[in-house]
Amino acid sequence: MSFISLTFLIFLAVTVLLYFVVPSAHRWLVLLAASLVFYGWGGLPQVVFVLVTSLVVWSAALRMDAIYETASRSEDAREAAKAAKKKARRVLTAACAVLIAALVYTKAGAAILGALLKVVRGEPVTVKILVPMGISYYTFAVVGYLADVYWKKDKAEKNWAKLLLYMIFFPQIVQGPIPRHKKLAPQLTEGHPFSWERLCFGLQRALWGYFKKMVIADRFAVIVNEVIGGYQTYEGVLFIIALASSAVQLYCDFSGCMDIALGVSEILGITLDENFRRPFFSRSAAEFWRRWHITLGTWFKDYVYMPLAVSPRLMKLGRSAGKVFGKRFAKGLMTAIPLLVVWLLTGLWHGTGPDYVVWGLYWGVLIMISTIWAPEIKKLDDLLHIDTESVWWHRFQMFRTFCIFCFGRLLTITPDLKASRVILKKIFTQHNVWALTNGTLYTLGLDRPNVWVALFSLGLLWYISIREEAGSDIRREIADCPLPVRWFLYYALFFAVIIFGMYGSGLSGSGFVYAAY
Amino acid sequence: MCRQAGEKVHIIIRTGIFLAIGVLLYLMACRFLETPSGVDWASGAGMDDVREHKNKYDVVFVGTSTSIANVSCQELYQSLGIAAVCVGEPEQPVFLSKYTLKDMFRTQSPKVVVLDAKAFFYKDTHDVAVEEGEEDFIYHRSIDAIDSVSIKKQALDTIRRLYPERYEDVDLWEYYSVMYRAHANWEILDYRNFHGYDLSDCMNGNIILTDIEEGRINSYSASDPDAAAAISDEIKGQVVEIEELCSAHGAQLVLTTGYSNFTKARHKAVAKLAEDIGVPYLDINEVTEEIGFDFTMDLHATSHFNLNGTLKWTMYLGSWLKDNFLLEDRREDPAYSWYETQRRVYEKQKNAFEGKNSLLRSLTFDDYLETLAGLSSSEFQIFITTYTDHPVSLTKSQRAYFKELGFSPDAITAYGNYAAARVNADLTEDYESEPDVPAGVAGSVKNLTYAITSVCDDDIQSGILLNEKENSQQGPGVNIVVYSVSEKETVSSVYFDLEHEENPCPRRREGYSVRIMKETAPNIWEAEEEAA
């Protein structure tokens, strides 16, 4: 069931109605039932898959809890704690191995099996494997949960159904945000009272999400598909337009879905974590990933980077390296290794092909350079008398970060790396700037009216982003407006979505991009 | 607590008003978006009539655009008293004809259903000539016209079955919600979205075509009579289902071939099918001589007839229907008053077309002026410009016709540059004696702006601009453009080079000829040879 469907809107209306009609103690059951219906809409096999997964997680967490409980009652607490930690680590490792194996199997299994069968049979073989909806997201959610239980940051959930709800809560299962059990679980089971303000704010946010996805993202997607899909025939500056459009498309698609998810949750009284914070205002690659897909970044930081960075093995390696190559080198090495591991895994999380590996390492290297060589970069700025606090320098940095992001997109939106190379070459060798003014822009899949709608909508998004970056709470400001103004804005946004949205015959809106991960 | 309750009531009332206004705005938006503009044809007009005039029609036409354009239900009523409607759609495949009829039978009990056989030779889902991606539009036209959601769903299920790769995920909401299917029309809004369609666009589900284009001789004689033509089993099955549907509702199915680019082999295939299922079959290609069909004047394009051809086929078909079925004469029945309401518009259309026809047939300047003088001044606007370096000379009869038309023959013969407009019987003239000093007339009326220039100069040419578009032929001598008010188009654009005995002025479009067509691939026709 897609968020962009009338079926979902009806489903949501029924769910919200039932949620607030049922007594508060049982409201979480309504959420569970709704989440199971939502999940099961894509087919029963994936429901079975997620049920089995949840049982594995549930029993592993309970087992770890039991191990710690037993150890805490032991006479020799210190020794018992040490032994318990070892035992719990084994349980954690086993459970995570199963979960990660399932994830790898569903994401890469088809390609691996296909390659193996090709070797055996001597001809290409297409292998189809069930890929449960949201497996990348809920796997990370439960691995994080298990890790928190292992580190005793969280208690094991004794009620399997409540754990299942945490895993497949319907607004977030499609594209995240990746939740933390300790923060989300209590909200899911609390049974929130109806709030008029939350309903209004939630609907506004969801509507804004639909606007970003259906009016902006799907419109720019037409240009991207046209130019990148026909990259052999297009030239120079048109690829720049396509890459910029791709950046806008991806941002509006993903953040639009997040707005829908967070808006829907807000109606139900549940606050999900923010996943975007105006990433194109970032002034560096590192800052970008603190603003883009925030929950993925923090997950990798908490569950991969930090454990790696403080791991005894790495520290030992650092000490050895320091003795041979000096302190600076050792420090750099201890930053670089976990960074590159994180970014390699980030790339693999997005996709299993070589293009995603390159993409992950691309970001990893950039962030590594900016982190390790920060002092040298500062010296260069001083040497060139750059006022790093000036507004123009900040704008340049934002533009630079945007270009870095677009280049990164080039690695993953093309059919393969070879196509990316061809496009890159064309950008630098074919100078057809006149294509910007001779009407070519209206031949890239969008006619003149649609180009203007796209640009106007983007302008509106940009304006609102600037206001929010400056600290404004747009929804609060709208709420403070006189009633006719408020209503006019609500109607305008609603009709903008349903009239200018890219849906329906001949205009099928694409599915959400990040739902494919 | 009272205050809280009061606030709650206040919120509920405010929300109710908000939703009510929202629903109103939504319905208005649907209303304005739903009528697609930029399309020559008001889809679903026939089905709208079917739903409005319940159990009134005795004959229902269905099929492709040949059923829409090649038959006139208004003429059937006016001339023969037959109450008929057309529920066909352009490119309508047979299976969609079936579902259209199913929906039609919910509110009508006709005695006869006439199905045109053109779509029998389509691929199962659509004409082979249709480009990929256009079939959406074709299906939409028919499915949008169907009212019943369950019948829409059946139609969709059939599309999915026949064309699974493309339509696996078609959303039923698309065919149920007006906004869902029509929202993209914001790009092509024009006045028709706000004022609705003119009656002339879609009377009784028909459209009147008024171009007179290249002729296409009946190719029965040209094609191999023994060549095979196959109707697919799928389509045969659909025709059988249509017959059963008609029988179940007490209607007789009649098959027709109401268009001209057919082959003998196809005729045989349809005749065989008709015989197998026990229904009558009429083919215009077998009676073209009998009905006096003129391939030089009666065709609009490809297989469509203009009003000339439509009237001939309609009268033939209508007479046959009257002779073979007990069809009541509805002309005196007040329950059929909408036909009378439509009569005035229809007669205007006929007059406009007849004017065009007669002008096309007028080959000399005298004939042309005589015809022009006989046309209604309120219906036809006349624009004249000269393109010559000296005054033209007129014969006595030509001067008389000019006078009758209201123009000044003295002016046109005294001055080299002469521009004139007769709009709504008001005459405006301008003239200049110096060749390089332009004479000009300009003005505007409802839906029409005009600017006429007469000059003989290296840089400027004489011309007749209507709505900023050049409409004259810019030929030497006298250039005349005739504009039809009801059709909102130019019906004649000619010039007469009075200097030369041989008048080269073309009466028809350049390259006009009559051609024999041969089917070189399924439903693809190419000219075989030129004919006089």
Q: What is the pLDDT of residue B359?
A: 86
| Alpha helices (H) along A268-284 | none
* Record: contact B180-A447, CB cut-off 8 A: no
Q: What is the pLDDT of residue B81?
A: 96
Q: What is the pLDDT of residue B172?
A: 65
For residues B240-251, give the mean pLDDT. Answer: 97
Q: B194 — contact with chain A (CB < 8 Å)?
A: no
* Record: contact A506-B21, CB cut-off 8 A: no
Band of residue B508 on the pLDDT scale cut at 50, 70, 90: very low
For residues B157-166, give the mean pLDDT. Answer: 78
| Alpha helices (H) along A301-447 | 306-309, 312-325, 327-350, 354-372, 374-383, 391-413, 417-429
Stated as kind and residue range, the H or E segment containing A337 is helix A327-350
Whether residue A125 has pLDDT greater than 80: no
Place of tokens 């209303």: B31
For residues B8-26, give the mean pLDDT. Answer: 92
| Cα separation, A349 vs A356, whole angstroms | 9
Residues in chain A within 8 Å Cβ distance of B183? 498-501, 503-504
The packing angle between helices A27-40 and A44-72, to 10°, is: 130
| Cα separation, A15 vs A294, whole angstroms | 28
φ and ψ at residue B21, rounded to 5 degrees: -65, -40
Closest partner CB to A504 (pick from B14, B174, B187)? B174
Greater confidence (B301 vs B280) lies with B280
- Neighbouring CB atoms inside 10 A of A398's CB total 17
- Nearest chain B Cα distance for residue A495, angstroms: 8
Greater confidence (B121 vs B241) lies with B241
Q: What is the pLDDT of residue B506?
A: 45
Mean pLDDT of chain A: 89
Q: What is the pLDDT of residue B532?
A: 45
Q: Residue A438 carries which DSSP code?
A: S
For residues B225-247, give the mean pLDDT. Answer: 88
Q: A431-435, B34-38, B520-524, B525-529: which has the highest mean pLDDT?
A: A431-435
Q: What is the pLDDT of residue B174?
A: 64
φ and ψ at residue A418, rounded to 5 degrees: -60, -45
pLDDT digits (tens, 9 = 90+) for A5-43: 888 999 999 999 999 999 989 999 999 999 999 999 878
| Cα separation, B403 vs B385, whole angstroms | 16
Using a pLDDT cut of 90, give the percent of chain B over it: 34
Summary count for chain B: helices (H), strands (E): 17, 19
CB A177 within 8 A of CB A239: no
Secondary-structure breakdown of chain B: helix, strand, coil percentages, each rounded to the nearest 5: 45, 20, 40
End-to-end CA distance of chain B: 95
Mutate to test the interface with A, among B21, B169, B183 (most CBs of A within 10 A): B183
* Record: contact A491-B180, CB cut-off 8 A: no
- For chain A, the C-alpha Rg in angstroms (whole number) is 25
For residues B418-442, give the mean pLDDT. Answer: 86
User: What is this structure's pTM?
Assistant: 0.74
* Record: contact B183-A501, CB cut-off 8 A: yes
Give the nearest chain B residue to A507 (CA atoms): B184
Q: Which of B87, B513, B524 is nearest to B299 (CA)?
A: B513
pLDDT digits (tens, 9 = 90+) for B456-478: 776 777 889 999 889 988 888 89
Closest partner CB to A506 (pick from B136, B171, B173)? B136
Residues in chain B within 8 Å Cβ distance of A495? 25-26, 29
| Cα separation, B504 vs B497, whole angstroms | 7
Place of tokens 């933390």: A180
Whether residue B316 has pLDDT greater than 90: yes
Secondary-structure breakdown of chain A: helix, strand, coil percentages, each rounded to the nearest 5: 75, 0, 20
- Nearest chain B Cα distance for residue A42, angstroms: 13
Using a pLDDT cut of 90, give the percent of chain A over it: 54
- Nearest chain A Cα distance for residue B239, angstroms: 28
Give the nearest chain A residue to B18 (CA atoms): A487
Measured CA to CA in angstroms, residue A385 lies from A373, A377, B16, B250, B396 at distances of 18, 12, 62, 93, 94
Q: Which of B339, B287, B280 is nearest to B316 (CA)?
A: B287
* Record: contact B187-A447, CB cut-off 8 A: yes
pLDDT digits (tens, 9 = 90+) for A270-318: 999 999 999 999 999 999 999 999 999 999 999 999 999 888 888 888 8
Q: A73-82, A231-240, B219-228: which has the highest mean pLDDT?
A: A231-240
Give the nearest chain B residue to A197 (CA atoms): B11
CB B113 within 8 A of CB B251: yes
End-to-end CA distance of chain A: 16
Q: Return the minimum-mean-pLDDT range out of A206-210, B307-311, B396-400, B493-497.
A: B493-497
pLDDT digits (tens, 9 = 90+) for B105-153: 999 999 999 999 988 988 766 665 555 556 666 777 788 788 888 898 8
Residues in chain B within 8 Å Cβ distance of A450? 187
Q: What is the pLDDT of residue B512?
A: 47
Residue type present at position A310? V
* Record: contact B22-A491, CB cut-off 8 A: yes
Q: What is the pLDDT of residue B218?
A: 58
Whether residue B510 has pLDDT greater than 50: no
Mean pLDDT of chain B: 83
- Please list, in sequence order, all residues whose beta carbon lies within 8 angstroms of the beta carbon of residue A341, skipping any fewer than 6 positions away: A304, A305, A308
Q: What is the pLDDT of residue B436?
A: 76
Q: In this structure, what is the dihedral angle of CA atoms A455, A457, A461, A466, given to the nearest 10 degrees?
A: 50
| Cα separation, B63 vs B87, whole angstroms | 8
- Neighbouring CB atoms inside 10 A of A327's CB total 11
Whether residue B517 has pLDDT greater than 70: no
Q: What is the pLDDT of residue A7?
A: 85
Closest partner CB to B186 (pick from A447, A483, A499)? A499
pLDDT digits (tens, 9 = 90+) for B349-388: 888 888 888 888 887 888 899 999 988 888 899 999 998 8
Residue type present at position A344? L
| Cα separation, B241 vs B255, whole angstroms | 14
User: How many interchain CB pairs under 8 A, A with B?
Assistant: 51
φ and ψ at residue B481, rounded to 5 degrees: -125, 135
Place of tokens 């023969």: B80
* Record: contact B171-A449, CB cut-off 8 A: no
Task: Please enumerate residues of A whose Cβ is less than 8 A from a Cβ of B.
Answer: 5-7, 196, 447, 449-450, 483, 487, 490-491, 494-495, 498-501, 503-507
Tokens of A286: 């590192």
| Cα separation, A139 vs A143, whole angstroms | 6
Whether residue A508 has pLDDT greater than 60: no
* Record: contact A495-B186, CB cut-off 8 A: no
Q: Residue A305 carries which DSSP code?
A: I
- Neighbouring CB atoms inside 10 A of A325's CB total 12
Q: B459 — contact with chain A (CB < 8 Å)?
A: no
Band of residue B504 on the pLDDT scale cut at 50, 70, 90: very low
Residues in chain B within 8 Å Cβ distance of A498? 26, 29, 179, 183
Q: B28 — contact with chain A (CB < 8 Å)?
A: no
Residues in chain A within 8 Å Cβ distance of B133? 506
Omega prior to A177 cis, within 30 of 0? yes
What would the DSSP string read from start to end of B76-104?
Answer: HHHHH---EEE---TT--HHHHHHHHHHH
| Cα separation, B181 vs B176, whole angstroms | 8
Q: What is the pLDDT of residue A397?
A: 92
Q: A479-488, B4-13, B129-138, B409-418: which has the highest mean pLDDT?
A: A479-488
pLDDT digits (tens, 9 = 90+) for A472-490: 999 999 999 999 999 999 9
- Nearest chain A Cα distance for residue B49, angstroms: 26
Longest CA–CA span in chain B (Å) reads 102
Q: How far is CA A343 from the centre of its chain?
A: 14
Band of residue B38 on the pLDDT scale cut at 50, 70, 90: very low
- Nearest chain A Cα distance for residue B405, angstroms: 46
Closest partner CB to B25 (pick from A483, A495, A507)? A495
Whether residue A399 has pLDDT greater than 70: yes
- Nearest chain B Cα distance for residue A434, angstroms: 27
Q: What is the pLDDT of residue A509?
A: 46
Residues in chain B within 8 Å Cβ distance of A491? 21-22, 25
Whether residue B77 has pLDDT greater than 90: yes
For residues B184-202, give the mean pLDDT. Answer: 70
Whether residue B514 has pLDDT greater than 60: no
To 5 degrees, how large is the angle CA A343–CA A348–CA A349? 95
Q: How far is CA A174 from the centre of its chain?
A: 10
Whether residue A45 has pLDDT greater than 70: yes
Closest partner CB to B29 (pick from A6, A499, A506)? A499
- Neighbouring CB atoms inside 10 A of B279's CB total 19
For residues A487-515, give the mean pLDDT. Answer: 78
